[in-house]
Amino acid sequence: MIRRNFIKGVSLAGLGNFLPKIGNGQNSDSKAKEDREFWVTTTERISRPVLEALSQGKLKALMPVEAKEGHRTNRGEVTYLEAFGRLLAGVAPWLERGEGTDAEGKLRKEFIDLTLKSLGHAVNPKSPDFMNFTKGGQPVVDAAFLCHGLLRAPQQLLGKLEEADKINLINALKSSRVITPYYNNWLLFSAMVEACLLEITGECDMMRVDYAVKKHLEWYLGDGVYGDGEEFHWDYYNSYVIQPMLLDILFILNKHEKRNGDKYDLVLKRAIRYAAIQERLISPEGTFPPIGRSLPYRFGAFQVLAQMALMKKLPEGVSPAQVRCGLTAVIKRMIEANGTFDNKGWLTIGFCGHQPDIAETYLSTGSMYLCSVGLLPLGLQPNDEFWTSPAKDWTAKKIWSGENLPNDKALK
């Protein structure tokens, strides 16, 4: 059991801040500073169109709806909650750092304010931007991403909600219970909504949570990988959804002394192994294999690696600096690719640029904002080792340059 280790008021985003610090932040170089500035600029570039529009109740009026040919109409009912919920899941740890007196701190204050206003519109039935939480199956997915973001910023977001907005939020989340999740990773969406309700209200439907946790523990296949349902899929859903949501649901269960909370350490151990695999997937050129479903989520594919960096739980032999450099290389290739944004700054469908044919029929403009979960380490302090250590090659770059490294080992 790890329950005794939890500290009252600790957030998912801030968990790593209570773990031992490595280094004193004095070992900085210009490349490290440039990397963080690039990540912050990227976060602002992705976030501003969504949050500025939604904070004014104008998201539905201004955001384009790009989708697979012939599927635009049915995506119009769900794409707005996709954009907001998925964006929030990634930027929340950065917002949780709170405002500051430097340029980045002032920018965070602006975006905290925009997010709170946006949330008010998203859950207010009287707002022109009131989101769909009940029609079709998709809303439970993005209600879950919204919840994941709120749990990652409990002080700056949940803690600052106006009472009326909190009541509307609770009602909206509860309304998503009319949706029956599919028998795969979707079980975690219902469970994440309930975990958020547990955090906000102290109550939830534990049956939905228990069932999701039980099935995913049964679907574990070995070496840090879960099946998506009973079958294995060569894709990035272990990182898009399964491991981060399972881990953070268990965090909340443990915090509230609920059933299955004691599985947290086991699931964390598997996530650390999966992070090791992910770090090795980054090629020397800063690319990774375009395998499986939902490739237009771009660098959101590295959420597990990003989360382990945020939590200071990187695998043995994998330094924060090499993760920063590897992820920066990937993000730059994708963000700077021609066509990644349209002429008004909205993300387009694609993996490296604008590639609409690579999308499944369930993807649309709002779906693209799951890329934000690759930016989780911005939740670390600017003077953290992750952001101050001199640049370092990542594993594949070391090996392909001829460096003699220890062999990789499976998780037993």
Q: Taking the chain, what is the end-to-end CA distance rounded to the nearest angstrom?
A: 21
Assigned domain for 411 exists: no
Assigned domain for 408 exists: no
**132, pLDDT greater than 60:** yes
| Six token digits for residue 146 | 């919204």
> How many Cβ atoms from other residues are within 10 Å of residue 398's Cβ?
15
Assigned domain for 52 exists: yes
| Six token digits for residue 121 | 């519109």
**53, pLDDT greater than 80:** yes
In eight-state DSSP terms, residue 314 is: P
**57, pLDDT greater than 60:** yes
| pTM summary value | 0.93
Assigned domain for 405 exists: no
Assigned domain for 169 exists: yes
**45, pLDDT greater than 60:** yes
Q: What is the per-residue pLDDT for 26?
A: 40
| Six token digits for residue 167 | 């009541």
- The total number of structural domains in the chain stands at 1
pLDDT in tens, 182-209: 999 999 999 999 999 999 999 999 999 9
Assigned domain for 330 exists: yes
**19, pLDDT greater than 50:** no
Question: What's the average model confidence in pLDDT over 78-101?
Answer: 98
Model confidence at 4, pLDDT cuts 50, 70, 90, reads: very low
**21, pLDDT greater than 90:** no
Cβ-count burial 199-237 (b if 16+ within 10 Å, e if not):
bbeeebbeebbbebbebbeebbeeebbbbbbeeebeebb
Q: What is the per-residue pLDDT for 69?
A: 80
Assigned domain for 410 exists: no
**328, pLDDT greater than 90:** yes
For tokens 């039980």, the residue is 214
For tokens 């405002």, the residue is 99
Angstrom distance (rounded) from CA 263 to CA 212? 13
Assigned domain for 409 exists: no
For tokens 């007196």, the residue is 101
Radius of gyration of the chain (CA): 20
Q: Which residue has the higher pLDDT, 14 or 102?
A: 102
**25, pLDDT greater than 50:** no
Q: Which domain holds residue 120?
A: 3-400
**10, pLDDT greater than 70:** no
Q: What is the CATH number of the domain that holds 47?
A: 1.50.10
